[in-house]
Chain A
């Protein structure tokens, strides 16, 4: 079959390289990011007047983070619940990357998915759960898909770059939600704006106090997306468009259609995440409904190198951090925005790692992680 049998050395080098990319580099990036986080915590201590400088504050903060995410059973369940939307969001961004698209609109697609779930959920709130749940979820999926369809369609037809259009739509989505919560879906005469509840469309609790059905939905999505991308012709087409849209045209594929399809699918996934939060946690929407899923999903997708099988692990990491951040704020007084900083640092070290490693002559294998799976080189904005 092969022309020459692969040398043992060559194979070992390849395995080592893969292990480094998948395990070593990400772990090192996380550690480096935590170090940077500690520096920021210590530096910000100096900003506070009347505050005794505590050298161990970073340790306390991280321990609280750990405790809040994995400390006891309820914490673990919280982590799973936090992970769920990040997992779906990460898939949404990852599948965009595979097609060469930058989906920064996960936030807007999430919000619209939540809105769709509320709107439909309220409508079917009286129906038996076995009907109400899928229908409400479907409403969320459809709304999210529509929000992904728009930038996909615009890109396919006019070439409008999806980075700008999706971010614009994020802001528009917020306005749409603000309108819905104070307008058509609002409970009249309520002291603060809030919608009706979704009643029977709510996800059942499967584990602990708040571990809801959404966790299973997310897990299922991982396998569906993996199977789609790597076992079907459609997935092959999506990946080809991402690798080279010129070659895709030559191969008889239709890049424009695939762009629209992929963005819609991404929107559907992010919308499922939003629907999950409504149906599984809030059960209704009020004016403070918000999310960090937008940037979190990008971080998850990059950390997982856009591989659907890696997304759950990356999502777990960030989900744990988000889940534990509350306790960190309570016990150590550290604002939850530190998680954003740590996230950015992880990505920074992931991306710059190979270069830094060469600069400091760390032992390591050369990595091609200058960028995740291909993004179009005409990636101009």
Chain B
């Protein structure tokens, strides 16, 4: 929806020359941004470009080193989130700012609690207001539900309600659709359009090109801390935006070539796995992966994918079923045993599981093989061999670092993942398990890793790719398994799959209406 260029009305937000420096990096470099009332304005850029920092400045979570902010034409100094909120600005963050053990009402009202007297909270008034608020925007919400038990889509809604409760006029959303199904994305977009029609201004941070084109009234592209272009959706397309974002022509999809699947390498039969609380979250999963084939697992986060992958690598003991690798039963074997059997694993949380951040890169390169020759002889480590291997890997996988002995903490996200990849991919593998392999990475690193995965596939490895980015799964996988509530509810061909059909399967499990817990309230 294109609005007439209303230059007479003062812009809702004007940021002039905002500069913010952190040690070693200029996150925002003299950025100008203008957002009009009733406008949905997209802030587009790669991971690490500076979009979140800019909005943190607006929200008072960061103080700019230079520049000024004007709200409705008046210069303001925003001293903190409380100040921002009182000025009508609120932010829905990429990583939810919700307290899992508290209820929906408690989370939404935190900071602006309705009181009965000076000390105690008026819980009934709280409940009423929440239900009312939800109804106004079209959903039934249970104010006493524990937020931790809600599905991700519903947590997103609670986050938005939080902002609306505070009478915001300016709403900032940071990567709101990262964890939503296509249908949930549409629903959120409808809510946003309603808000815009009522006069709210919305800043929509994203790195997803087609979404930005669909929802935004205007687009500002940021690259490496600077504004590199402004566009109206009607005047641009994905290629143009991608080039602005990255600074060069970009292959939006890599050529995955044809795959030539061989014999079945991994066979999972009726696998059952419990989570940390003892609930069964993998409920009889069966699947097969052939050599030279990529099986993608699509599903809303929290349907058992993490536990499935952990069980396959031995980090979690299955409670039932079996796993067979190349005709050998490997159910419940330890991570080291799986590693030695030729299984590689790139974990979702690379900083927690995949790397020891304080340690040198060299130690991280041999993290799973440090005890074997040539890196050790008996109990004694062989430092020269470790260093040599590290140098070689750094070179081969193009890890940008000053030295192999630098701590892994000094690497950027993309380079950290390259270290993990170098370690796992640098040997012959029967099975490669990847969990969210490109989350939070810049386009260049994403391209690199995707190419490496294709390379492994072509070398005959069976690849299991779990990703919350449906696009990534559609792009890479030969077959796609949809996981819903601990079960594989469908397996479709990767090249012919329809995105919306897969999205519906992710949200409903093929049962028709979306069930509570998937897009509904507490189960």
A residues with a Cβ closer than 8 A to B are 1-4, 6, 10, 231-234, 236, 239-240, 243-244, 246-252, 374
Contacts and interface: CB of A to CB of B under 8 A. Distances in A.
B358 A374 contact: yes
B315 A252 contact: no
19 contacts: A2-B401, A3-B394, A4-B402, A6-B402, A10-B402, A231-B380, A233-B370, A233-B371, A233-B376, A233-B380, A233-B381, A243-B359, A247-B355, A247-B356, A250-B345, A250-B347, A251-B335, A251-B336, A251-B370
A232 B345 CA distance: 25
A247 B354 contact: yes
A247 B409 CA distance: 14
Contact of B379 (A2, A233, A246, A249): A233
B355 A236 contact: no
A10 B371 CA distance: 34
Nearest to B340: A252
Chain B residues touching A, majority SS = loop
A234 to B, nearest CB: 6
B403 interface: yes
A246 B379 CA distance: 23
A243 B402 contact: no
Contacts of B72: none
Contact of A244 (B345, B357, B368): B357
Contacts of A250: 315, 335, 345, 347, 353-354, 367-368
Contacts of A6: 402-403
Nearest to B358: A243
Given A247-B352, A374-B358, A252 B381 contact: no
A232 B358 contact: no
In the A-B complex, the 8 residue pairs with the smallest Cβ-Cβ separation, listed nearest first, are: A252-B336, A250-B353, A232-B379, A251-B367, A247-B356, A2-B403, A252-B335, A243-B356
A244 B352 contact: yes
B345 A3 contact: no
B293 interface: no
Given A243-B358, A246-B352, A247-B356, A232 B391 contact: no
Contacts of B368: 250-252
Residue among A244, A246, A247 having the largest count of chain B Cβ atoms under 10 Å: A247
Interface string B329-348: 00000111001000001010
Contacts of A247: 352-356, 367
B294 to A, nearest CB: 22
B404 interface: yes
Contacts, number: 73
Nearest to A239: B359
Contact of B356 (A3, A10, A240): A240
Nearest to B336: A252
Interface in B425-459: none
B23 to A, nearest CB: 9
A375 to B, nearest CB: 12
Given A243-B359, A247-B355, A374-B358, A2 B402 contact: yes
A248 B335 CA distance: 10
A317 to B, nearest CB: 27
Contacts of A374: 358
A3 B400 contact: yes
Contacts of A248: 356
Interface string B399-420: 0111110000000000000000
Contacts of A236: 363, 370, 381
Interface in B377-391: 379-381, 391
B41 to A, nearest CB: 38
Contacts of A243: 356-359
B402 A234 contact: no
Given A244-B357, A252-B335, 4 more contacts: A2-B402, A234-B379, A247-B355, A251-B370
A1 to B, nearest CB: 5
Contact of A252 (B334, B391, B394, B401): B334
Contacts of B379: 232-234
Contacts of A233: 370-371, 376, 379-381
Nearest to B399: A3
A278 to B, nearest CB: 32
Contacts of A4: 402
Contact of A3 (B315, B380, B381, B402): B402
B1 to A, nearest CB: 47
Residue among A233, A239, A251 having the largest count of chain B Cβ atoms under 10 Å: A251
Contacts of A3: 394, 400-402
A151 to B, nearest CB: 24
Contacts of B345: 250
B400 to A, nearest CB: 6
B381 A232 contact: yes
A49 to B, nearest CB: 49
A252 to B, nearest CB: 3
A244 B356 contact: yes
A45 B345 CA distance: 67
Contact of A249 (B315, B349, B359, B402): B315
B381 A246 contact: no
Nearest to A234: B379
Nearest to A240: B356
A232 B401 CA distance: 26
